[in-house]
Structure 1
């Protein structure tokens, strides 16, 4: 553990608190309050991974024609790849106790960090809406099984039954009440739901296995693609979609690791958490969807709709109650915490963490999540693929800046003060912005399929779109390093040395 030594250049607390870039929720977490353990992070990942969209992500690969083994390999490889930048960006959260938008200030500038933060925030709003829609759908199915046809056959308004809209609203309100109570309420909710969220998926799988006659009929389904050219054409964009699914967290994990007791605890919790929990949910989703195909002759990738086909009301209700809890747990951690900080970062003196969560909830409705979730092609190729490439570029800048240019050393006080080391030019660092735009254009400039033209937005970049996240990360990483070369030596000389560690720094 590094010693905690107060640098002589650190300003007084009143000076920090008076800054328009400071509020209590964006401030560094004091070392004595960084109490999250390995289990807290494992439980966090279990809560985030075991949810209906995670299930649907794996199930959609079956709907696209993969067999169980192809789908499992695609998801496992994607999760191992995205874990690397996630751990690299998590380090700063634990060391300095700072959330993602404050971390981004070191590279984008105090104002420029809003570019990275709001990109992440608006995507989280979309995910919040999707998770809330599928959670509301599960409530709609549960009540329908208990209340009868009057609930299920209600009047249609704006293309959906009004009882489905009501279920959506109830689910939305419940989440807002939890987030309004703050980050500690989120942590407690994650801890007690984590051991329970697997129950619903196991019930679904068990029911399907019994009805389908065991694993045999499921594992003998060879899929529609084989192992030839058709599979490899689907594999690359699907792999990028798997990575994009957690690319948001690869940026904002400092929002959680800032509460970590040590680097070892947060790293161990994440390494144990992400690959294992996502592999578990992938196996359950793949086998359940494949079994549904055996039973019903079609690939039903939405678990609420699949459960609705079951004969036993008890199985449907118990399974979907567990899935609703799982979805609340995932939505709060993955899609509300980050934008709450991000919106607060944009207006630190006006927007609190709770108010940022309310903004997330409202935008999550306006984005019309029922449209994003309606089709696996839109879900994987348009939604996940496009934003994955853009966020890959942001991750490239953060990794290059923190690990290569700054060598993990930050001046924490200057992250809150105009005129400090991270003020750059009027609060913007043009090198980070240019590198992000470069990586993003390379990654998604050739976007095709779904709402995009068949020849690609920029035709000669079309081949790169199948590898969008990797292209975005590599392009921005290389671009930021090249643009930073003239200043790297000078800036490194200005960083605090080993004997002058910021009082917020904590390692080990």
Structure 2
């Protein structure tokens, strides 16, 4: 084959076979502990208690996280079932070329988050060095911290899991210390931490504030909801398991249990931090209540937390997307470098005051992609995917000049609605995106460009791990029994 025909077959984007799915349910849970400890989570809590009691903030957060966790697991089934990443599957609802438009938006957002979290972690690292060694240069800390994270990510998913195994217990213990310390500070200042009744806002204003907390939580993690397949393709899952819940058990433990618990706890810490020192940034509160080695250890938690978040939630998705756009010319490690460069060039230290609001709006826009993925994967293809064609430049998913206009139009409509109704951005984007795509694809686009898995919804042809098969791109699907019966020469044993 020519290089031109092979550009969709970058080795880093090929389906992950069952034997290489090596992240355990516990390991994925630890990854989530690290990912959920970010400045934006603290901000949601700090902003929320300015209008609502902490009890209502917690309820809104739990609702948002549980709903989003199920949506993450739904999109993540693409990675579990077929072993493919987000940008590869996006070739189905957007086309082999059209996939680059929404994917690059997601990659840019992820790269910006990498820069923002690196800056936040670097300030904590700088405070550690200033406290212990009288060294004070945050920019050098920023560059060193960025390089460490990029190297860790380039080493692969197993290296990231090992770091999460180390960081998660530290984060949990120190987060508990932060909560109790900040709660005590708030009580000393005469503020009731836990209350369901006394909310600053009442009536319609309270309802709006409640919805804003829900949408803030959903909008913030909506980006990862879209590209969960990029992570879930590495999660352990049983072969020949048709039951959706059993097949996705490893995901569910992380997405529906660990993530809501951790996210809610971080929101609570941000809330009590605001109550204690009128600032949702717990680093400010920590520096006012600790010193010496204690302060250094607490700040180290912030560094670990940003590291865990960036490698899993930001650098991996961005690098995978860049590799998808450039093809074999850009292996995964090169995509990691590009993500890092963008995260530095955007100068997050200058954008710090507005970046959270901007990224939450973009998260709402990307919510329409989640709706499109759900509609395409579950309601139109019914989980059956012609995976080999996803890697063919002249195949089924080329559509018209490489673009599926049903997906592009649905994304524009859903994203526009999410921007207009920003207080309800995720809900609006998801509903408009999914509904518009379903109608356009089913009654217009797929009438013009027939889809093999919709015409012939065969389990054996178009399902993956749930029928015990791995996708072997360039040849065909092979099951475990065939492999065991295949000699070194390659011919089947009769």
TM-score range, shorter chain: 0.7 to 0.9
How far is the alpha carbon of 1:186 from its aligned partner? 1.4
Which has the higher mean CA deviation after the structures are superposed, 273-282 or 348-357?
A: 273-282
Determine the structure 2 residue equivalent to 1:398. 373
Deviation string, structure 1 residues 91-125 (Cα, Å, up to 9, x no partner)? 11000000110011111111111122111101101
Is the 1:182–1:353 Cα contact (8 Å) retained in structure 2?
no
Matches for 1:150-165 after TM superposition, within 5 Å: 151=135, 163-165=137-139
How big is the shift at 1:203?
Answer: 2.5
Which residue is equivalent to 2:28? 41
Q: Is the 8 A contact 2:23 2:158 kept in 1?
A: no
- 1:426 equivalenced with 2:401 (yes/no): yes
State the match for 1:159 in structure 2.
Answer: none
Residues 378-401 of structure 1 deviation map (CA, whole Å, 9 limit, x = unaligned)? 455x32441122101111111111
Give, in angstroms, the shift of residue 502 of structure 1.
Answer: 5.6
Q: Displacement of 1:505 after TM fit?
A: 6.3
2:55 match: 69
Q: How does 1:336-351 map to 2 (within 5 A)?
A: 336-351=315-330
Q: How does 1:14-93 map to 2 (within 5 A)?
A: 19-62=6-49, 64-93=50-79
CA distance in 2, matches of 1:261, 1:278: 24
Q: Does 1:235 align with 2:210?
A: yes
Q: Tell me: CA distance 1:57–1:213, structure 2 relative to 1, closer, same or farther (3 Å).
A: closer
8 Å Cα contact 1:129-1:369 kept in structure 2:
yes
Q: What's the CA shift string for 1:143-174, capped at 9, x where partnerless?
A: 222234xx55xxxxxxxxxx122222221121
1:271 alignment partner in structure 2: 256
Superposition deviation, residue 34 in structure 1: 1.6
* Offset of residue 280 of structure 1: 2.3
- Equivalent in the alignment of 1:498: 459
Distance of 2:180 and 2:212 partners within structure 1: 31
User: Structure 1 residues 505, 42: CA separation in 2 closer, same or farther (over 3 Å shift)?
Assistant: same
Q: CA deviation at 1:504?
A: 6.6
| Contact 2:57–2:213 (Cα < 8 Å) also in 1 | no
Q: Which runs of 5+ in 2 are unaligned?
A: 238-247, 470-494
Q: Tell me if structure 1 keeps the 8 A contact 2:413–2:433.
A: yes
Does the 8 Å CA contact 1:46/1:274 hold for their aligned counterparts?
yes
1:478 equivalenced with 2:440 (yes/no)? no
Deviations 1:266-300 (A, max 9, x none): 2333222211221222233323332x23xxxxx11
Larger CA deviation: 474-483 vs 45-54: 45-54
Structure 1 position 76, deviation (Å)? 1.6
Tell me if structure 1 keeps the 8 A contact 2:54–2:194.
Answer: no
Name 2:492's counterpart in structure 1: none
The yes-or-no answer on 1:257 pairing with 2:257 is: no
2:35 match: secondary structure: helix
**Secondary structure in 2 matching 1:347:** helix
Deviation track 1:289-313 (CA, whole Å, cap 9, x = no partner) reads: 32x23xxxxx111122222222432
Query: SS of the residue aligned with 1:25?
Result: helix
Q: Partner residue of 1:288?
A: 273
Q: TM-score, normalised by structure 2?
A: 0.85
Native 8 Å contact 2:110 2:317 kept in 1: yes
Write the distance in 2 (CA, Å) between the matches of 1:370 and 1:27.
37
Instruction: Tell me the matched-pair count.
Output: 454
- Aligned to 2:396, the other structure's residue is in SS state coil
Q: Does 2:421 correspond to 1:436?
A: no
Moved more, 72-81 or 89-98: 72-81
Q: Distance in 2 between matches of 1:180 and 1:134?
A: 22
Which residue of structure 2 aligns with residue 128 of structure 1? 114
Structure 1 segments unaligned to the other structure (5+ residues): 1-13, 153-162, 294-298, 447-463
Match of residue 140, structure 2, among 150, 166, 179: 166
